[in-house]
């Protein structure tokens, strides 16, 4: 199983095995991915290089303000950074659930767009070929498509459909 550790700016690295990391290992990993030395990281969040070293070795932990700065600097959540069981942002239940909901929503939007395009094509084809039957069928499809979208929206608003 591949494990992807994602940073901001679309930087990523893959490792073949999934190895849970603790806070210090995550800080070390993120720092290396960013191409920073301990001194550079220390200057970015205004602590000493020794503090960074102690965090990475697990000899001490950063205080809340430093955790917030690390999260902003590396574009990761505090859940990812602080929870040893979270190997990537995708492991956080809320992120996973929101990602799945967005996929469903965008798949539905894509389906609507494709169907709408097809129906408009039918109407245009009927108009260009002066075929009344094709234009009427295309028009009926467009009306049915619009009504279908309206029904889905109403059912979702009333929470009858997820």
**pLDDT, tens digit, 9 for 90 and up, residues 113-140:** 887 787 777 777 777 777 777 777 777 8
Per-residue pLDDT reduced to its tens digit, 18-73? 456 788 988 998 899 889 999 999 999 999 999 999 999 999 999 999 999 998 99
What are the boundaries of each domain within the chain?
3-89, 94-157
User: Was domain 3-89 assigned CATH 1.10.260.40?
Assistant: yes
Distance CA 141, CA 74 (A): 50
Distance CA 71, CA 79 (A): 10
CB 111 within 8 A of CB 105: no
pTM over 0.75: no
DSSP state for residue 91 in the 8-state scheme = G
Is 6 or 90 the better-scoring residue by pLDDT?
A: 90
């Amino acid at each position: 199983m591949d494990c992807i550790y994602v940073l901001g700016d679309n930087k990523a690295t893959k490792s073949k095995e999934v190895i849970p990391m603790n806070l210090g290992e995550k800080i070390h990993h993120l720092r290396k991915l960013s191409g920073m030395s301990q001194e550079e990281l220390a200057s970015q969040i205004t602590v000493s290089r020794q503090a960074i070293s102690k965090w990475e070795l697990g000899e001490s932990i950063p205080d809340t303000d430093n955790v917030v700065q690390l999260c902003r600097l590396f574009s990761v959540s505090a859940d990812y950074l602080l929870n040893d069981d979270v190997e990537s942002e995708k492991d956080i239940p809320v992120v996973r659930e929101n990602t799945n909901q967005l996929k469903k929503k965008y798949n539905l939007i894509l389906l609507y767009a494709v169907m709408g395009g097809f129906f408009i094509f039918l109407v245009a084809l009927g108009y260009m070929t002066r075929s009344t039957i094709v234009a009427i069928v295309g028009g009926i499809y467009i009306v049915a498509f619009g009504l279908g979208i309206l029904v889905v929206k109403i059912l979702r608003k009333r929470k009858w459909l997820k």
